[in-house]
Amino acid sequence: MIEMLSFSFMQRALIAAVIVGVLCSVLAFFVVLKKLSFVGVGVSHSALGGVALGVIAGVDPVITGGFFATAVAWLIGWVSRKGHMSEDTVIGTFFSASMALGVVLLGLARSYTADLMSYLFGNILAITETDLWLLGGLTVLVLLFVSLFFKELLTMTFDEELAQADGLPVGPLYFGLLTAIALTVVVTVKAVGLVLSSALLVIPAATGFELAKDFRRMLAISVATGVIGSVAGLVVSFYLDVASGATIVLGLSLIFLMAYTLSPRKPWVARVLAKRREKSASPTL
Amino acid sequence: MASQTVANAVEVRDLTVWLNGQTVLEEVTFDIPTGAFAGIVGPNGAGKTTLLKVLLGLVRTYEGSILVFGTPPARLGAQRHKIGYVPQRPNFDRSFPARVLDVVMMGRVSCRGLGRRFTPADREAALESLAMVGALELKDRPIGELSGGQQQRVFLARALCSHTQLLLLDEPNTGLDLPSQNQFYELLDTLRRENSLTIMVVSHDLAMVSRYADRILCINKRVHVHGSPSEVLESPLLDQVYGCEFEQIASRGVVIAGGSH
């Protein structure tokens, strides 16, 4: 471990893993409860079109990718809320079209073809100090947005129509959430890649959901899972010399599988827990 | 709750509403006096739910004039918390990880204000609301584990906890057995008397509503009959609202009205 930390690229990677773990797992809380997983997948894959545009135009791909992903996220939100088309049809259409655009554009810029894999699957070991500042800055913004409007976001997530009847600005809140998801996808490109970032926007909170019946505990478990899974994945990838993004996602998936198997939502687990409670409550002779 | 009292909690004039290109309500005009218990009845598809949604500002494709406490719904702003709403079937996921008290406190979001944290006063108001509907012992239970009747009470508490003056309920008895329906209406009536509430209940059960409401609004796209329960039950215009179902409704209404008063 100490040997690993002697490399400055590993120190940066470790800090990035912690930040990505926190950022993604906080948003994942709303993604899972509001059932936006497919939106996350759609936006993350769509971002490739924007990243490729940046590569071709010689602009920072994070900037073009950010605009592109946000535009796609808003379009998904707008079309689905207007009710002209179902959300999954919109996502299915945009996500494949934008990805195809990205692959073609990156193909045209032949000198950059090698970058395609790093955009798709990420390389957390290549994180620079600037990337860290960008990641940290967005994390602060997202955490501010979530903490400032937590009760409103939770109310909207629970029942959107009731929230609207309460007079909450449901539209701006929803689009704020979509923007946060889109920007998160783009700034985590280097760490885990576009394809795998959607996993980070689901798995930590899905783990929390399996283990908790109270949203506070769900959020805490989500953040813990995000951070532990990301750091553990990074460490394992270092020692096994395998792709870091994929190892992080595999680590998270493993934690989720354990949570799913032992979830108190499972009838057999609930029975065992109830028996234990009965035993501990009964007076000892 | 020291606000000026307006004579009519709700005033609707020549209201026509469109949804997806269809006219759902047409030239609807009525008043609901402050403190009234009004039943809105009519067959399926009559526009009852839409009427509530227009009053809540959820549907805005309309022509005509609507005033809630003297103000159009879209301009209620900070006064929005005066309206409480209990939907027919709350659209939440039963596995949502929230306790009953959390759900009731969501009803305080509108009076606390955007971006402001809940205070102990919000928690107290939510607990008081739960006590008012007789569901205080449920406060720590996960919302998804409650029965339909218990959930209905929790959502009523949610609608009441923001200094509510006008309570709108959409088919609150869907899925409840007859004794539970009666208990729920008794509770509404008590709450109205003790808290000076104005209540509007949408229902297709004219007989049940007639027992508790002091005025009935019979709609089927248009307002066909509007008056006291006895006036409405005896009105020949009910034919236009319910058609062939009228005989059955009228006889149930007479029997129940005779039995209870």
- What domains does chain A contain, in order, with CATH numbers? 2-280 (1.10.3470.10)
Residue B123 confidence (pLDDT) above 70: yes
pLDDT at A283 (0 to 100): 59
- Read off φ and ψ for residue A11, nearest 5 degrees: -65, -45
Structure-model confidence comparison of residues B117 and B177, the more confident one: B117
Token readout for B40 is: 């809105």
Cα A197 to Cα A43, B101, B182, distances in angstroms: 10, 35, 53
Mean pLDDT computed over every residue of chain B: 84
Mean pLDDT over B146-152 rounds to 88
CB contact under 8 A, B109 and A164: no
DSSP bridge partners of B8: B33
Mean pLDDT over A144-169 rounds to 94
Residues in A closer than 8 angstroms to B117, CB to CB, are 151
pLDDT at A119 (0 to 100): 80
**pTM as predicted:** 0.88
DSSP annotation string for A72-100: HHHHHHHHHHHTSS-HHHHHHHHHHHHHH
**Residue whose structure tokens are 């809105």:** B40
Residue B260 confidence (pLDDT) above 60: no
Give the model confidence (pLDDT) of A116-142 as tens digits: 777 888 888 888 999 899 999 999 999
pLDDT at B240 (0 to 100): 66
Residues in B closer than 8 angstroms to A160, CB to CB, are 91
- The answer to whether A200 touches A28, Cβ cutoff 8 Å, is yes
Structure-model confidence comparison of residues A223 and B245, the more confident one: A223
- The answer to whether B64 touches B12, Cβ cutoff 8 Å, is yes
The residue type found at A40 is G
Mean pLDDT over A153-179 rounds to 93
Residue A192: CB partners within 8 Å, gap ≥ 6?
A: A20, A121, A122, A124, A199, A200, A244, A245, A248, A249
The dihedral region occupied by B42, where left means phi > 0, alpha psi between -120 and 50, and beta the remainder, is left
**Residue B247 confidence class, pLDDT cut points 50, 70, 90:** very low
CB contact under 8 A, A215 and B102: yes
Rounded to the nearest angstrom, the minimum Cα separation between B68 and chain A is: 14
Count of CA atoms in the C-beta half-sphere (13 A) of A15? 17
- The answer to whether A238 touches A10, Cβ cutoff 8 Å, is yes
CA angle at B156 for the pair A146 and B154, rounded to the nearest 5°: 70
Sign of CA dihedral B112, B117, B119, B125: positive
Mean pLDDT over A177-186 rounds to 92
**Residue B10 confidence class, pLDDT cut points 50, 70, 90:** very high
**Residue A113 confidence class, pLDDT cut points 50, 70, 90:** low
CB contact under 8 A, B92 and A158: yes
Report the share of chain B in percent with pLDDT over 90. Answer: 43
Give the model confidence (pLDDT) of A215-264 as tens digits: 999 999 999 999 999 999 999 998 998 888 889 999 999 999 999 998 88
**Residue B207 confidence class, pLDDT cut points 50, 70, 90:** confident
Residue B249 confidence (pLDDT) above 60: no
CB contact under 8 A, A160 and B91: yes
Q: Which of A174, A169, A192 is nearest to A25 (CA)?
A: A192
- Give the orientation angle of helix A189-200 with respect to helix A244-261, to 10 degrees: 20
pLDDT at B254 (0 to 100): 40
- Strand (E) positions, chain B? 8-19, 22-33, 37-41, 62-68, 83-86, 166-170, 198-203, 215-220, 222-227
Mean pLDDT computed over every residue of chain A: 88
Rounded to the nearest angstrom, the minimum Cα separation between A167 and chain B is: 6
Q: Report DSSP state, residue A284.
A: P
Residue B253 confidence (pLDDT) above 50: no
- The answer to whether A122 touches A199, Cβ cutoff 8 Å, is no
Residues in B closer than 8 angstroms to A265, CB to CB, are 95
Residue A281 confidence (pLDDT) above 90: no
Give the model confidence (pLDDT) of B21-64 as tens digits: 889 999 999 999 999 999 998 888 889 999 999 999 889 889 99
Report the share of chain B in percent with pLDDT over 70. Answer: 88
CB contact under 8 A, B81 and A209: no
CB contact under 8 A, A167 and B81: yes
**Residue A146 confidence class, pLDDT cut points 50, 70, 90:** very high
Give the model confidence (pLDDT) of B212-236 as tens digits: 899 999 888 888 778 888 877 777 7
What was the ipTM of the complex prediction? 0.86
